[in-house]
Amino acid sequence: MSRLLLVRHGEASAGFGSDRDPGLSVEGHAQADAVAEQLAERGPLALVTSPLRRCRETAAPLAARWSTDAIVEAGIAEVAAPSDDLDERARWLRGALAGSWADLEPGPRRWRNDTLETVRSLGRAHPDGAVLVTHFIVVNAVIGEAVSDDRVMVRRLDNGSITELDVDDDGSLRLVTGGETGESRVW
């Protein structure tokens, strides 16, 4: 069994419908520092991040504390929206968050399955545990799988929240603690 700590990135400087790859806002950098402070004594552990800027910037303070480099893993990147148009992406996300995975197009459902397999693989690859810095929908997909809930948004996770999850040897996911909730902006 492996314990994974899934960190939702700090507040982004722009939303899902405004920028495809924003960095962190000033508040987001403060949240990244707070995550590093909170997790410092739990490591060093393997540190894995989505390739998107807001996640890499969130992982940076923890990587510095642990004197390590974060491993970039595309398999925990943000959900693949059916359109690249920013306005359409935002509209799609608002609708998706109100529904279930079964309601969505095949592409996002494949993305979810691939993401869950990546998380399972990371658990197997890091039996001593790991920190995964990732996105709102990624953490929700993992929580949903762990608690058998097909909703896209199972928990309204705050920026910088930490969700603890166990990955059993057979690949099953078990939620230990859900991350802090809040009214943070998603799109």
Q: Could you list the pLDDT tens digit for every one of the 187 residues in the chain?
A: 999 999 999 999 998 778 889 999 999 999 999 999 999 999 999 999 999 999 999 999 999 999 999 999 999 999 988 988 989 989 999 999 999 999 999 999 999 999 999 999 999 999 999 999 999 999 999 999 999 999 999 999 999 999 999 999 999 999 999 999 998 776 6
Residue 186 lies in a domain: no
**pTM for this structure?**
0.96
Residue 183 lies in a domain: no
Domain holding 46, by residue range, is 2-177
Residue 121 lies in a domain: yes
Give the full edge-to-edge strand order of the sheet including 71-72. 71-72, 46-49, 130-134, 2-8, 162-167, 173-177
Residue 170 lies in a domain: yes
**Quick one: pLDDT at residue 187?**
60
Give how many domains the chain has, as a whole number: 1
Q: Quick count: other Cβ atoms within 10 Å of Cβ 102?
A: 9
Distances (CA, A) of 138 to 26, 43, 49, 75, 183: 23, 23, 12, 10, 17
Indicate left, alpha or beta for 129 from its phi (over 0: left) and psi (-120 to 50: alpha). left
**Quick one: pLDDT at residue 76?**
98
Distances (CA, A) of 76 to 49, 65, 147, 183: 7, 23, 19, 23
Residue 51 lies in a domain: yes
**Quick one: pLDDT at residue 160?**
98
CA distance 70 to 64: 10
Residue 185 lies in a domain: no
Domain of 138, CATH number, reads 3.40.50.1240
